[in-house]
Amino acid sequence: MSATIPSQGYCSELKVFQAGHNNLSGLLPEDIYNASKLEEIALPLNSLYGAISDKIVNLTNLAILDLYFNQLSGALPVNLGRLSKLKFVILDFNNLEGSLPISLMNCTNLLELHLGSNNLEGDISMLDFSRLSQLTKLDLRVNNFTGTIPVSLYSCRSLKAIGLSGNHLEGQIQAEILSLNSLSFLSLGYNRFTNVTGAMKILMSCKSLHTLSLAGTFEGEGMPSDDDMVDFDGFKNLRLLSLADSDFTGQIPLWLSKLKNLEILALYKNQITGPIPSWLGTLPRLFSLNLASNRISGEIPKQLCRLPRLVYEPTASQVDNYEFELPIFGGSVIANPRFEPHKLFLFFPAIDLSNNNISGDIPTEVGQLQLLRKLNLDSNNFFGVIPDQISNLKNLELLNLSKNHLSGTIPLSLVSLTFLKEFNVSYNNLQGPIPTGTQLQSFNASAFEGNPKLCGAPLANKCSRPNKGIDEDNKKNNKDMDNGLHQIPWFYISSVVLGFIVGFWGVCGSLIINKTWRYAYFRFIYNVQDRLYVMITVRINMIKRKP
């Protein structure tokens, strides 16, 4: 249920108006602009619409304007720069249009300017940022800006974060960017920049840089190679590197092995060839690796299954509470802008090798990656069986092994993976029953299709016992035998036992007890033995005499 902001006149002494993350809708009331002592308007995460009135310039004490994630439209007030006390302007995720007002460059106290994910346009290289000496964060991502990176921006020596991705900017990265000694976050992806090798040679000297996203730009160029960066000795503090979605050619370069603080590496959607280098498994802090949608071949190196951050649980002192200067979004668009992934620990420990030409067995050593939460190996050429050791990945939430050449059965041990939210083994050569009474039955049948010999819920293909006819006959015969045994009268058994006792003791007992009978019995046996011997001897001599 939504509500509108009441328009009843605002207290002349009102300084702070906060009502974020509610169900407020409608226009900003006109009389809010009469509360001249207002220092903060914070109404983020609502459903407000309409334009920001030019009357906002009446709020000369305004320091914080936070209308993030609403449905505001229209252009920014032309005279917005008259609000000289503005420190934070946060208008991301609206429908604002037009160009940035030139007057905004007069807000010399401005610390943060967030205008991402709108429909703003214009050549930003014409703006003069040099007066914004206190500016620490500039976020203009996902708009329609054109031109080059403003040279005047490099005079803002306090800048810690620059977000310009998702626009139509062009040109090359200039060496002047090195004057930003505090620059920690740089996102320039999804533009039209050129010369990625030159850009990397410059940026590697930004000693404070923690986050570098160049995804979706420098399209079709070669991956910065070892030959061009033989004396590479930079990016000492880099935590996140994205060179994704750019159709880069070449192989995974060796210089990446020197990034000992790297935690997230995204190289997906390129034209990378060659094998996965074994040294990737030696990066001490890497926990998220995305190499999906390339042309990588060879086998998974066993060293990759020993990534320290995916094998060993960190101690309390090792838990990383690092926060990015700006939110990290996937690509140029974010699915849920209400969730701002600032914190590093919110990112999934993941390995994504899908859509490549990787072959061989899935190494059993994968079971060592006990902290892994996402394992995506779909659309490759893996063969062999699904290793039982995957069941050691108790934190796994996504497992995709589809579109390979895996055979054998689905290991019963996978029943121990109780946190799975996504599971897919479709289009392999698996057979036998799907383990029952487990979480696996909760997934759609499409997660198992394309395996004709696989059976059991949730598939419509019911399981039948192997050698069913023979088994049923054996079972019937066993049952009849059991019934027959139960039907034998006990008196038959008693008679047999009694007959044995009487016969044995009737003969043997008499011989033992009566000495005369015993002598007579053995004499009879000896006589029979002598007669047989004589008869056989005579018969043999007669045969020998015949000519």
Give the pLDDT band (50/70/90) at residue 494: very low
Which of 531 and 279 is assigned the larger pLDDT?
279
Give the pLDDT band (50/70/90) at residue 440: confident
**Predicted local confidence at residue 2, as pLDDT:** 63
- Token pair 């032309």 is found at 78
b/e sequence 245-276, b meaning 16+ C-beta within 10 Å: bbebebbbbebbbbbeebbbbbbbbbebbeeb
**For residue 129, is it within any domain?**
yes
Which two three-digit tokens encode residue 294? Answer: 């390339």
Do 459 and 448 form a contact (C-beta atoms < 8 A)? yes
The 3-state DSSP class for residue 203 equals helix
Do 129 and 150 form a contact (C-beta atoms < 8 A)? yes
Among 138, 155, 172, the domain-final residue is: 155
**For residue 328, is it within any domain?**
no
Give Cα separations from 144 to 1, 140, 338, 528 (angstroms): 34, 9, 22, 123
**For residue 402, is it within any domain?**
no
pTM, two decimals, is 0.81
pLDDT over threshold 50, residue 468: no
Q: Tell me which residue of 380, 379, 443, 371 sits closest to 410, measured CA to CA.
A: 443
**Predicted local confidence at residue 344, as pLDDT:** 78
Max mean pLDDT range (11-15, 40-44, 477-481): 40-44
**Predicted local confidence at residue 111, as pLDDT:** 97
Which two three-digit tokens encode residue 277? Answer: 């280098």
Q: Tell me which residue of 235, 222, 227, 243 sits closest to 262, measured CA to CA.
A: 235
pLDDT over threshold 60, residue 76: yes
**For residue 46, is it within any domain?**
yes
Sequence-distant (≥ 6) Cβ neighbours of residue 322 within 8 angstroms: 210, 239, 343, 344
**Predicted local confidence at residue 497, as pLDDT:** 41
**For residue 524, is it within any domain?**
yes
Do 12 and 36 form a contact (C-beta atoms < 8 A)? yes
Which of 444 and 11 is assigned the larger pLDDT?
444
| Residue ranges making up the domain that contains 110 | 1-155
Please report, rounded to a whole number, the percentage of residues in the chain having pLDDT higher than 70: 79
Tens of pLDDT, residue by residue over 99-145, are 999 999 999 999 999 999 999 999 999 999 999 999 999 999 999 99
Among 155, 186, 206, the domain-final residue is: 155
What is the C-alpha to C-alpha distance for residues 444 and 451, in angstroms, rounded to an integer? 14
**For residue 471, is it within any domain?**
no
**Predicted local confidence at residue 29, as pLDDT:** 83
Tens of pLDDT, residue by residue over 291-347, are 999 999 999 999 999 999 999 887 666 667 788 999 886 543 333 444 555 777 778
Beta-sheet pairing, 161-163 with 185-187? parallel
CATH of the domain at 32: 3.80.10.10
Tens of pLDDT, residue by residue over 147-159, are 999 999 999 999 9
Among 120, 155, 190, the domain-final residue is: 155
What is the C-alpha to C-alpha distance for residues 193 and 221, in angstroms, rounded to an integer? 11
**Predicted local confidence at residue 148, as pLDDT:** 97
**Predicted local confidence at residue 334, as pLDDT:** 38
- First vs last C-alpha separation in the chain: 128
**For residue 491, is it within any domain?**
no
What is the C-alpha to C-alpha distance for residues 162 and 408, in angstroms, rounded to an integer? 51
**For residue 407, is it within any domain?**
no
**Predicted local confidence at residue 35, as pLDDT:** 87
Tens of pLDDT, residue by residue over 510-541, are 544 554 444 444 455 545 454 554 455 545 55
What DSSP line would sit under 209-230, residue for residue? --EEE-TT-STTPBPPPTTTTT
Q: Report the domain count for the chain.
A: 2
**Predicted local confidence at residue 347, as pLDDT:** 83
Q: Which amino acid is at 521?
A: Y
pLDDT over threshold 50, residue 416: yes
